[in-house]
Structures are given as structure tokens and as C-alpha cells.
């Protein structure tokens, strides 16, 4: 039932004569049962991804989709690079009859009715969906003013952010690459068409006032890309901020972020990312100030992303938390550390394999032990079950990766909690049956209630910690905290201003020093997890020279001094002595969480000359 609809959808996409796959997807998936549309689309996309892995003709999208159709049908074929042969087999075997639109729903409805009659409550238990992985709130018209989850709006409003804005980003990047070349005029026309289409879609869905801000963003984006040298990025950021404010006025849960990058030749590149807003939250200080934080989930599918858990900047009004990045951080670093005999990845691979770095094992083992203790205190024994499952998942997939690395196959770990065994299906006949069954069991167990409840609690606590980090950035921008640099930090970064102008390395390091230290001061329940995260900025060599690295060095030295712990200098001959930092980390983590948060609170006041503001979440 599902398989036939997957193959039909793929065949429709493969047969699109005008090559407009985006339109083809909208039209094709609109014909499918709404209840199963997401499942069918997901399986179709995985089939396409697998087909791209098998052929070198990935530039031919129709060919890739024909291969994917045959693969989904289970039809054998010869050389996947033989375009004509694959097309002939596709034309001979493709499904031609459109499936019944509501067939799966009717079938499921009939099955559920039978289960209700025969099995009653047991039928519900067997067919119920897994518990939600994330804490989700009901949507509210007043979310932007009172907190909560904003409205999703109409499909047309959603399409502005999922389709129109990303289409414009693709067009403006193509124009950027074509500048000065033979294709510049054509790409300029394509850019104008993308802008006009986006404005028209927005005008219909969001109204003239909101669309005026979108038009300004488009126009300024084009101007920035066209003009080398100094960019008008500040006014561009303000226009994006005005667009977001207009969307919030409509009560809709969407957000646009802008970034402008400049290469060594002075040419600019525009990045516009779109998100859904999953929660609006307000924080009040004891001084009467209020800051808004937004929990964001990435909406567009563009191939760039921020490698941070949250961010803000002076030109925007909110602290921004990236939910997808937090899940990935938990999956990569925290959850596998909750298992038996686990380690938390702190250092870089080269250091871990260096037999002279005797401190590495102890640091990573103790960081894992701290994560286990804090997670159990927050969520109960479900945290250990979560850790066991992630430990087994990682061990199996890492073993497969090592086994097949010389066979031209790449095996990667999932970056999310939930994963589909179909993504590893082509390995099923190449791995031991016991390992395949165990990984299938792990995938199933991760959908059960106990580990999901533990994940929700742990994720929520870490989200709240990141929120407070970003809120502190907002407070610092507004209060003048960043106008002075602590001497210990200045010794490493230099002053905030030099004879050449502003020193961005110093200013960013001051901002991270305040935010990371405030996070340690305000979150006793996960303070040791946060301490381990902070240590990665120093103990992993590839992070050296970052603002976070300089901030971490000041924090570890300051906490050790505040707690009365002797330590050697962290920098010798302009080089970081990671062993000294590691020993200080190990000594600090021996103290209880309350002592560490108290020391962090005192250190913040000492470095910035006033008490750390108290935050109350609404």
C-alpha cells in the first residue's frame, strides 16, 4: 500500500518534462493521502539519496529519479550509469495508474475498527504512535506577547518561508557566482523572477505591509551582492528584523535570519535562513529589564547552517536557540556518554590517539560520569536506558564504518534521536544478522516511552541553559558590559580597540566570557555538563584561537582560584598547556554543583564589576 504510492510518486517526478522538480513535488504529493504524505515523501527521498549513491550521473535528475523508482519497485537493472537502458526499463515497468488518494486512510480506518472490536484497549496500545520526542505546546494567538507557541498559519503563508525565500537565496547565489561572466545577464533575470515570485506569493499570503519589508530585504540583498567593498549589512539586518516584527504582528511562528559573508576580494555572499518558531519565552531581570528568547526549528533545506546551539547579534532583538543543533549536540556528545563505561568526546581525534596525552582518558571518563549523575538526577533511571541504547547504536555503526571503509561504502551515524533502518538497508545482506537485528531493536526501543521521557526532560534543561546564555548576550549588548575587557582576557586577545580600529577577537571573547560564565552560575542542575562543553573549546586543538577558547581559559583559571585550587599557568611560551587545563577541570568537577555555581557567580561579579543579574523566566 505505502510502497505502491512511493513508486508512483517517484515515477511522476521522473516523468516531469519541464524539469521543475519543486513544482512537481508540490503537485505530486498533493495527490497523496494527507495522513501518510510525510511517510511516503520520506521514503521517496531516501530512495533518491540511495540512487545518487549508485550512479555517477547525479547531474541528470530525471535519470536519478528513474533509478530510484526501479529501486523502490525492487526491479533489477544493470549498469546504473547507462541512461538509455535505465530509461527503457523505467518506461516498461513504471506504474501508470494513480493510487486512490485516501486508500491508506480507509485501510487503516478499517483495520483500527477491527482492532477496536476484537482487541479493545490492546488494539490502541499496539497501534499508538510513539510518545513525542520533544516538549510541544498548543499554539496560541498571544504567544508573541505572552509567551507560548505561535500560530502555524495557512499553507500559503508557510510556503513563503519554506519555498519563496529559499528560492530567492538560491537565485541570488547563482547571480553572485555569475557576476562578470557570460551568464551574468541570464542569472540577473532569474534573480528578478525569483524576487517577483516571492513578493507576489507574500502579498497574497501575508499582506502588503509585511511584503514591503520582504521586498526591502530582497532589494538590499541584491545591492549588497552587486557592490563590492563595504557592505550596508547593518541596514540589511534592520530590514530583516523589521520583517520578523511584521510576521510576529500577524501572530505567525516564522523567523528569518540573515548573514553577510565577505571574501578576501571584498565580494559579499548573502545567507537567508528560515525557521519555524516553536516557543516564545520572556526573561525578566531583577533590574526590571525583559528579554525575549525564541526556540527555532530550521525550515528551509539549504546547505548551510550555523554550528552553534544558539546565537544573537547586536542588530536583532531576541536570543535565538537552535533546536536542531541542540538535538545533534545531545546525540553526538551527551547521550552516548550516559551508557556503561562510556566516555564523553572532549578532545580532538589526534590528541585522543596520542599515547603521550595521559590525561585524556580521565577527562573523558569523568565528564561522562558527571553527565550520567546529572542526567539521572534530572530524569531518573530512564537516562541510563537512553545511554545504553545510544552506546549500542554508536558501537554497531562505528564497527560497520570501519568494516566497509575500504569497500567504497560510507556509513555515518544518525544526527537525530529517531532514525530509519531503511537508510542502512543496502547493508542488510553484508552484516551479521545478529547485528542487524540488534540495531533494529535499538531503533524500536528508542521509540518507547521511558527513553523518550528521559530525553524530553534532558533536552528541555539544556534548551533552558542555552536560552539563558543567549539572553545574557542580549543584556550585555544593552547594558554596556562589553565596553570593558577584563585584564586576564586582554592579555590573550589584546585590547578592544587598537591603532587599526576595533578588535573583533577581543570583543567577541568578552561576550562569550560573560555568557558562558553566567550559564555556569545559573544552571546548577547541568553545571558539570556545561563545564565539560566549555572544556572542549580548550582541550580540542581545532578550537584554539576562537573567542570561546580565550573565554574558557579565563573561566577555568578564575574558578580554580575562587575554589582555592592550585594550578600551573595555562599558557607557556604563547602555547596552551592542555594538561594544566585538564588537571584544573578535573579538580573543579570534584566540587558539588552548588559550589561551582557560587564560584561562577562571584567570578562574574569580579570580572565585570557588578553583580550578575538574576533572571526569572515567564
User: Quick one: DSSP state of residue 186?
Assistant: H
pLDDT tens sequence across 447-496: 999 999 999 999 999 999 999 999 999 999 999 899 999 999 999 999 99
Buried b (16+ CB within 10 A) or exposed e, 420-450: eeeebeebeeebeeebbeebeebbebbeeeb
Q: To the nearest 10°, the Cα dihedral for 205, 209, 215, 221? A: -110
Taking alpha carbons only, the member of 151, 152, 161, 155 closest to residue 301 is 161
Q: What share of the chain is helix, strand, coil (3-state, %, to 5)?
A: 60, 10, 30
230 torsion bin: left (phi>0), alpha (psi -120 to 50), beta (else): beta
What is the SS3 assignment for 503? Answer: coil
Residues near 599 by Cβ (< 8 Å), separated by ≥ 6?
A: 559, 562, 563, 591
Cα 556 from Cα 538, distance rounded (Å): 10
Q: E strand or H helix at 399, and its extent? A: helix 382-404
Domain ranges of the chain: 2-93, 143-305, 329-451, 461-617
The pLDDT assigned to 16 comes to 72
| pLDDT mean across residues, the chain | 89
d(CA 420, CA 424): 8
3-state secondary structure of 19: coil
**C-alpha closest to that of 415 among 301, 328, 297, 322:** 328
Q: What is the 3-state secondary structure (H, E, C) of 42-88?
A: HHHHHHHHHHHHHCCCCCCHHHHHHHHHHHHHCCCCCCCCCHHHHHH
Specify the 3-state DSSP secondary structure of 295: strand
Q: What is the pLDDT of residues 391-423, one digit of tens each?
A: 999 999 999 999 998 888 889 999 999 998 999
Task: Count how many residues are written for the chain.
Answer: 618
The H-or-E segment that residue 273 falls in is: strand 268-285
User: How many whole angstroms separate alpha carbon 375 and alpha carbon 525?
Assistant: 9
Name the residue with cell 534530572: 378
Give the integer Cα–Cα distance in Å for 503 and 386: 44
DSSP code string of 337-392:
GGSTT-----S-HHHHT-TT-TTHHHHHHHHHHHHHHHHHHHH-THHHHHHHHHHH
> How many angstroms separate the CA atoms of 364 and 434, rounded?
30
Distances (CA, A) of 481 to 104, 310, 337, 515, 610: 59, 20, 36, 11, 10
Instruction: Give the three cell numbers for residue 35.
Output: 495522513
Query: How many angstroms separate the Cα of 80 from the Cα of each of 21, 46, 52, 73, 89?
Result: 21, 17, 10, 15, 11
Q: Which residues of the chain have pLDDT under 50?
A: 117-118, 120-127
Nearest to 599 by CA among 568, 554, 555: 555
pLDDT for 575 equals 92
Partners of 280 in beta bridges: 148, 294
Planar angle of CA 19, 24, 29, nearest 5 degrees: 160
Residue 329's nearest CA partner among 468, 149, 458 is 458
Query: Residue 249 and residue 565: Cα distance in Å, rounded?
Result: 52
- Rounded to two decimals, the pTM is 0.78
Beta-bridge partners for 462: none
> What span, in angstroms and rounded, lies between the C-alpha atoms of 202 and 197?
9
Which pLDDT score, from 0 to 100, does residue 21 have? 65
CB within 8 Å of 117: residues ≥ 6 apart: none
Which of 238, 247, 255, 243 is CA-nearest to residue 294?
255
Which cell is 48 given?
Answer: 533518491
Q: Distances in Å between the alpha carbon of 537 and those of 413, 482, 508?
A: 23, 21, 14
Distance CA 564, CA 367 (A): 21
Q: What pLDDT does 124 receive?
A: 43
Q: Which three cell numbers stand for residue 369?
A: 560520569
Amino acid at each position: 500500500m505505502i510502497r505502491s504510492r512511493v513508486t508512483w510518486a517517484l515515477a511522476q517526478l521522473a516523468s516531469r518534462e519541464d524539469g521543475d522538480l519543486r513544482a512537481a513535488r508540490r503537485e505530486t504529493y498533493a495527490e497523496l493521502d494527507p495522513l501518510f504524505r510525510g511517510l511516503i515523501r520520506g521514503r521517496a527521498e531516501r530512495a533518491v539519496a540511495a540512487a545518487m549513491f549508485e550512479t555517477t550521473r547525479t547531474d541528470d535528475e530525471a535519470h536519478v529519479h528513474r533509478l530510484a523508482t526501479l529501486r523502490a519497485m525492487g526491479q533489477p537493472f544493470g549498469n546504473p550509469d547507462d541512461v538509455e537502458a535505465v530509461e527503457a526499463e523505467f518506461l516498461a515497468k513504471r506504474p501508470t495508474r494513480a493510487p486512490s488518494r485516501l486508500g491508506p486512510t480507509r485501510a487503516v480506518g478499517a483495520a483500527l475498527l477491527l482492532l477496536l472490536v476484537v482487541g479493545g484497549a490492546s488494539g490502541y496500545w499496539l497501534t499508538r504512535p510513539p510518545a513525542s520526542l520533544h516538549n510541544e505546546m498548543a499554539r496560541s494567538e498571544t504567544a508573541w506577547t505572552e509567551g507560548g507557541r505561535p500560530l502555524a498559519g495557512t499553507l500559503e503563508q508557510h510556503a513563503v518561508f519554506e519555498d519563496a525565500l529559499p528560492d530567492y537565496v538560491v537565485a541570488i547565489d547563482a547571480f553572485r557566482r555569475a557576476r562578470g561572466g557570460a551568464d551574468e545577464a541570464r542569472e540577473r533575470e532569474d534573480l528578478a523572477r525569483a524576487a517577483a515570485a516571492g513578493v507576489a506569493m507574500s502579498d497574497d499570503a501575508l499582506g502588503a505591509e509585511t511584503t514591503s519589508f520582504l521586498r526591502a530585504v530582497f532589494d538590499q540583498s541584491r545591492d549588497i551582492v552587486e557592490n563590492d567593498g563595504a557592505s550596508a549589512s547593518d541596514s540589511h539586518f534592520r530590514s530583516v528584523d523589521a520583517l520578523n516584527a511584521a510576521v510576529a504582528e500577524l501572530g505567525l511562528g516564522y523567523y528569518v535570519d540573515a548573514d553577510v559573508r565577505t571574501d578576501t576580494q571584498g565580494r559579499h555572499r548573502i545567507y537567508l535562513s528560515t525557521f519555524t518558531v516553536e516557543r516564545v519565552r520572556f526573561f525578566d531581570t531583577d533590574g526590571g529589564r525583559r528579554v525575549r528568547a525564541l526556540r527555532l526549528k530550521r525550515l528551509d533545506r539549504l546547505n548551510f547552517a550555523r554550528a552553534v546551539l544558539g546565537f544573537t547579534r547586536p542588530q536583532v532583538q531576541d536570543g535565538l536557540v537552535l533546536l536542531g543543533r541542540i538535538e545533534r549536540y545531545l546525540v553526538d556528545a551527551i547521550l552516548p556518554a550516559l551508557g556503561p563505561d562510556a566516555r564523553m568526546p572532549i578532545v580532538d581525534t589526534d590528541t585522543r590517539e596520542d599515547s603521550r596525552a595521559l590525561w585524556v582518558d580521565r577527562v573523558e571518563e569523568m565528564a561522562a560520569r558527571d553527565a550520567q549523575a546529572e542526567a539521572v538526577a534530572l530524569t531518573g533511571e530512564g537516562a541510563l536506558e537512553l545511554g545504553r541504547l545510544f552506546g549500542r547504536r554508536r558501537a554497531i555503526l562505528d564497527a560497520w564504518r570501519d568494516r566497509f571503509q575500504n569497500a567504497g561504502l560510507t556509513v555515518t551515524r544518525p544526527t537525530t534521536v529517531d532514525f530509519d533502518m531503511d537508510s542502512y538497508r543496502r547493508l542488510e545482506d553484508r552484516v551479521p544478522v545478529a547485528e542487524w537485528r540488534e540495531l533494529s531493536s535499538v531503533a524500536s526501543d528508542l521509540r518507547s516511552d521511558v527513553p523518550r521521557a528521559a530525553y524530553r526532560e534532558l533536552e528541555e534543561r539544556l534548551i533552558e541553559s542555552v536560552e539563558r546564555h543567549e539572553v545574557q548576550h542580549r543584556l550585555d549588548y544593552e547594558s554596556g558590559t562589553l565596553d570593558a575587557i577584563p585584564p586576564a582576557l586582554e592579555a590573550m586577545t589584546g585590547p578592544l580597540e587598537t591603532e587599526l580600529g576595533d578588535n573583533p577577537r577581543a570583543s567577541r571573547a568578552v561576550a562569550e566570557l560573560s555568557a558562558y560564565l553566567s550559564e555556569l552560575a545559573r544552571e546548577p542542575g547541568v553545571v558539570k555538563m556545561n563545564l565539560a562543553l566549555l572544556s572542549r573549546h580548550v582541550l580540542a586543538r581545532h578550537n584554539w584561537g576562537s573567542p570561546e577558547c580565550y573565554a574558557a581559559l579565563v573561566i577555568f583559571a578564575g574558578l580554580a582560584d575562587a575554589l582555592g585550587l592550585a594550578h600551573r599557568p595555562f599558557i607557556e611560551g604563547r602555547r596552551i598547556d592542555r594538561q594544566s587545563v585538564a588537571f584544573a577541570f578535573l579538580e573543579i568537577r570534584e566540587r558539588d554543583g552548588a559550589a561551582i555555581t557560587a564560584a561562577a557567580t562571584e567570578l562574574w561579579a569580579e570580572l565585570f564589576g557588578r553583580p550578575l543579574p538574576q533572571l526569572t523566566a515567564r
